[in-house]
Structures are given as structure tokens and as C-alpha cells.
Structure 1
Amino acid sequence: MNIRQAAIGAAALDAGAIIVFSAIGRASHDEGILGDAGLGLATTAWPFLAGAGIGWVIARGWKHPCDWKATGVPVWASTLVGGMLLRLASGQGVQVSFIIVAGLFLAAFLIGWRVISGILAKRAGLKK
């Protein structure tokens, strides 16, 4: 696998984690995936997806897409902070408990898979 393929896969995993996070959140509030206007999941996910995109640019994630420190932490922080700020700007709710839950879930999924990937690569002799 080359770095371009790794970056595409990493970005897809990040986006998937954010969509799962958004879907679980909607389901836990009995909002349904589509919502009233048919855009429920998209309305919930877009601020976090935009935040993640900003994080990828800040970290230049395409250079080390699977590195939990160089890419995972900046993408997580940008997803959380950017997502919350964009939610506020778009009139969506932001409560302290939501920030905590979002921070923990997103850390587990945006940083966690990279940590596991690094451990597996090291065991397989793919990483120094």
C-alpha cells in the first residue's frame, strides 16, 4: 500500500467514525437518521466532518495518515472544537455533557484506530 492509498483509507475511516458517531447520537435522542426534512444525519454530521477536514489540512494528514500523534490528535481536536463551533454557528445545541461524550467517542475512534494500527504494524515488522 502506498501513502496515497493509506491517506484515502484513513480519511474514509475518519469520516465513517464521524458518521457512526452522528447516527448513534441521533438514535439516542429518537431523532431518526433522516429527521423531518430528510437531512437529519447530514445536518448532524457536517460540522464534525468539516472540523475533521480542517484538522487534516492543519496536520497535513496525507503525509502520515496513520500516525496517531502527527495526524490523529490534530484531527481529533479539530473535529471536536471545529464541530462544536460550527454547531453553535448553525444554531444547533452544544451542552457540556455533549462535548465530553463527543470528545471521548471521537478520541477513541479517530486516535484509537491509529494506535491499534501502529501496534499491529510494529508487530508485523512494518514499523521501526
Structure 2
Amino acid sequence: MRNVGAAALDAVCVLVFVTIGRASHEEAASLTGIAGTAWPFLVGLAVGWLVTRAWRRPEAFVPAGVGVWASTVAVGMVLRVVSGQGTAVSFVVVASLFTALFLLGWRGVAKAVRRPARA
């Protein structure tokens, strides 16, 4: 269950990124619009889970978190280029920072919560 929850949380992070990005550019919040923008990043996310074997320790900052984040951005951007979507430098920077904050952020919070308090 922990693996499914972590994978779902990662996917939600990507979908939040896409939804906020589309809203900030006044693009439609339609299901097809969100799916069209999200699919390259969701594929990148899946590749990251496979390459890092994130299911072993999905909450681990390294290798799972960093590998999943890097793959989400790198594979996502390549797929955007291949599918004719934009990859302006500013978009790559924003996508990298936002996904790092969310994909690595929840793992950092999980680690902090699990760490026993020192007296």
C-alpha cells in the first residue's frame, strides 16, 4: 500500500503542477487539456519509478526522490519536444523548480516526521 500511495502522491504532484501552470496561462481546465499537458511528465514519472526502483523505498530522498524528479523533468521535456509542445527555457526552469519542490518536498516531510525527536 505504501508504494501505491507514494506513486499516487507523485502523480498528484505532477497534476497539481500542470493544473496551476495551465491556470496561470489562462488555459482551459478541461480534462483533455490537462491530460495533454500532463502525459509527458507522467510518463517521465513512471520511467523514474522504474529506473530508480522507487517501489523499494519510495519515501527515500535519494535515489527515489532525486531520480524520479530528474526523470520526470528530463523525459517530460523530451516528450514535449517530440509531440510538438513548447519547451522554452523559462518553462524548463519553472517545471524543474516546481516539481523538485513537490516531488522532493513530500519526501523531506516524510523523513522529518519519521525521525525520532531528540531530547
| Distance in 1 of aligned mates of 2:3 and 2:14 | 16
Q: Percent identity?
A: 50
Q: Within 5 Å, give how 1:45-84 maps onto structure 2.
A: 45-84=38-77
**1:15 equivalenced with 2:11 (yes/no):** yes
Q: Which amino acid aligns with 1:21?
A: F
How many pairs does the alignment contain? 118
| Distance in 2 of aligned mates of 1:15 and 1:104 | 16
Pairwise CA RMSD of aligned residues? 1.3
Which residue is equivalent to 1:28?
24
Question: What is the SS of the residue equivalent to 1:48?
Answer: helix
4+ residue runs over 2 A deviation: none
Which residue is equivalent to 1:40?
33
Shift of 1:124: 6.4
Shift of 1:70: 1.7
| Distance in 1 of aligned mates of 2:105 and 2:16 | 15
Shift of 1:123: 2.6
CA contact (8 A) 1:72 1:110 kept: yes
Q: Which amino acid aligns with 1:14?
A: D
Q: Which amino acid aligns with 2:47?
A: I
**CA-to-partner distance for each residue in 1:94-119, whole Å, 9 max, x for gaps?**
00000110100000000110011011
